[in-house]
Structure 1
Amino acid sequence: MPPFTTHTADTAPAAARATIEAVRRRLGHLPAAVGLMAESPELLTGFLTVNGIFDTCALGPVEREVVVLTVATRNECHLCVAMHTATLTRQDAAPELIGALRAGTPLPDDRLEALRRFTVAVLDHRGAVPEAQLTAFLSAGYQPRHALDVVLGVGTYTISTLANRLTGAPLDPPLAAYAWEPAAR
């Protein structure tokens, strides 16, 4: 069992208390992952800040979820996969799209598949994406700005997925229907 505490507004370091309380008020509950991240007020504030910025980038809501779920499945974060499956479900995304994202397989939509492949290339090549892969991404109708927005999403969800794995963040009960486990290797 990892040595991390799932904090509340009463037990969190002082610098994290207002942030935790704001999350609790906004969501109506405090997700365990937020309570765990609160051990480092800077990590919690940093993640929530960049997540808010990522939500305003030029990628649309479903496109952002493609990036997030690609990072989450690659980093094997059961919590992020479940949480963002729930998000796509609320957005009425096609079940085939959700299933392919969870499985890490080609998407049924060519443009979103180009985005998924580009996100994988950013991860695999640590940003040094080969020219042919960048060209394929741009040929799918994306702009150079979108490529940088993918990098923003990869960075944002690298924070979240790695923190969740390090702390052993559990799946909150409302997400149980979206539970996910990585495929056996």
Structure 2
Amino acid sequence: MSVFTEHTAETAPVTARRAIEGAQTRFGWLPTPVALMADSPQLLAGFIAASAGFEQTDLSDLEREVVVLVVSTTHECHYCVALHTGKLTRLGVSPELITALRAGSSLPDPRLEALRRFTLAVLDHRGAVPDDELDDFLAAGYLPRHALDVVLGVGAYTMSTFANRLTRAPLDPPLAAHAWTPAA
């Protein structure tokens, strides 16, 4: 039994309605996590603002998705993994790379692997990344700015993954093909 309300544009608090309408337009349906986060218009607005900021970073679309998948698999968010697997598929990313990201395995591309490892270091060390791990990230061609961009992505998607797990957001039918469960 859930204590959270799955809102619609009509039932959501007034301050969350624009966000709900925007999500419906963007996806063609109302993602359940958005409908559930609408119970806290501030959380929903904060996530939307943080994720929009993350989208504007210098990291490429693929690099941002690597960060999101690392956060999502680490936090075991079935919804985010499925949603962002779909996004990777639409980007034309190889099935091998998608499989590795979903499994939390090493990536075949050295630069993306450095990004994956750095994102894990940010999560594992709660931001206090050891110098050698930061040096490895920078040696892969990333800039100090990119390290901070990763922190933004970790923050945005920690909000989302935690909210989705707390509300037990069910997977929406359009994402069923990308369903994911954490390894035991």
TM over 0.5: yes
Q: Deviations over 1:22-63 (max 9, x none)?
A: 221232211111000000000111101111110010100000
Amino acid at match of 1:165: R
Residue in structure 2 matched with residue 32 of structure 1 by the alignment = 32
Residue in structure 2 matched with residue 50 of structure 1 by the alignment = 50
Distance 2:65 2:26 in 1: 20
Amino acid at match of 1:183: A
Conserved 8 A contact 1:70-1:119: yes
Query: Alpha-carbon deviation of 1:130?
Result: 0.3
Residue in structure 2 matched with residue 139 of structure 1 by the alignment = 139
Deviates more, 1:131-140 or 1:22-31: 22-31
1:3 aligns with 2:3: yes
Distance 2:55 2:22 in 1: 18
What SS does the aligned partner of 2:122 have? helix
What SS does the aligned partner of 1:67 have? helix
Query: Alpha-carbon deviation of 1:2?
Result: 2.5
Distance 1:95 1:25 in 2: 28
TM (norm. structure 1) is 0.98
Residue in structure 1 matched with residue 152 of structure 2 by the alignment = 152
Conserved 8 A contact 1:32-1:172: yes
Conserved 8 A contact 1:79-1:171: yes
Conserved 8 A contact 1:82-1:175: yes
Residue in structure 1 matched with residue 74 of structure 2 by the alignment = 74
Q: Which runs of 5+ in 1 are unaligned?
A: none
Amino acid at match of 1:4: F
Distance 2:28 2:105 in 1: 34
What SS does the aligned partner of 1:141 have? coil
Distance 2:5 2:26 in 1: 22
Conserved 8 A contact 1:58-1:146: yes
Distance 2:98 2:25 in 1: 29
Q: Which runs of 5+ in 2 are unaligned?
A: none
Q: Deviations over 1:141-185 (max 9, x none)?
A: 10000000000000000000000000011111010000000000x
Amino acid at match of 2:18: A
Distance 2:61 2:158 in 1: 19
Query: Alpha-carbon deviation of 1:13?
Result: 1.2
**Identity fraction in percent:** 66
Distance 1:8 1:96 in 2: 37
What SS does the aligned partner of 1:142 have? coil
Q: Could you say what the CA RMSD is over the residues aligned between the two structures, in angstroms?
A: 0.7
Amino acid at match of 1:100: A
Q: Deviations over 1:56-108 (max 9, x none)?
A: 10100000000000000000000000000000000000111100000001001
